[in-house]
Amino acid sequence: MNVGVLLAAALWMAAPSPAPAQAGPEPQIPLRDAFVVAAETVIDDAGTTDVKADDAHFAGQMTSLKEAQANLAAMADVDREHTIADAMKDIVFQVASCHIQSIDGADTTKCQSQIETARKRAMQTINKHKSGSSWVDGPPSN
C-alpha cells in the first residue's frame, strides 16, 4: 500500500469535524416584570411631558422623566435590559431637544413625531402597546 495514501487517510480521519449548524438565534430571556413597569413609566412620562411648557413647568416634568430613566438604567441586569435602558436615553434627549426648539419658537411638529416614533420603538422592545391608557402585552393589532 502507498505510504502517501495511508498518510492522507490518517490526516483526514484526524481532522476535526465541522461544527454542527446553529438552529437559529437563542431564545430571548423574558424581561422581569419590575423592569417592564419601569420601562412603561419612562415611555408614559415621555408621552405626557409638555415640550411647549414654560421652563418652570417643563423642569419638573423633565426631572420626573430623567429619574424614571435613571431608575430603569439602575434596574438593568442582563444585556437585553441594558440595551433597552440605553435606548430610553434617546427618548429623554429627544424630549429635551424638542423643548429647546419650542423655546426658540421653532415648529415642534417634527420633533414631537420623532418622540412618538421613539416611544413606539421602545414599546416594541418590551413587547407591549397602549390600548387607551392601559398597557397590553404584544404588538398592536392593525
- CA-nearest of 129, 26, 38, 121 to 81 is 38
Tell me the pLDDT of the chain (142 aa) as tens digits. Answer: 555 555 455 555 555 555 555 555 556 778 999 999 999 999 999 999 999 999 999 999 999 999 999 999 999 999 999 999 999 999 999 999 999 999 989 999 999 999 999 999 999 999 999 999 999 998 887 6
Report the CATH number at residue 38: 1.20.120
Q: Is residue 17 part of a domain?
A: no
- CA-nearest of 110, 127, 141, 118 to 43 is 118
Say which amino acid occupies 102.
S
Q: Are 133 and 105 in contact (CB under 8 A)?
A: no
Q: Is residue 9 part of a domain?
A: no
Question: What's the total number of domains in the chain?
Answer: 1
Q: Are 110 and 117 in contact (CB under 8 A)?
A: no
Q: Is residue 113 part of a domain?
A: yes
Q: Is residue 114 part of a domain?
A: yes
**What's the rounded Cα separation, in Å, for the pair 81 and 125?**
10
Determine the structural domain holding residue 57 and report its residue range.
Answer: 30-126
pTM of full prediction above 0.85: no
* Residue in the block written with cell 418652570: 56
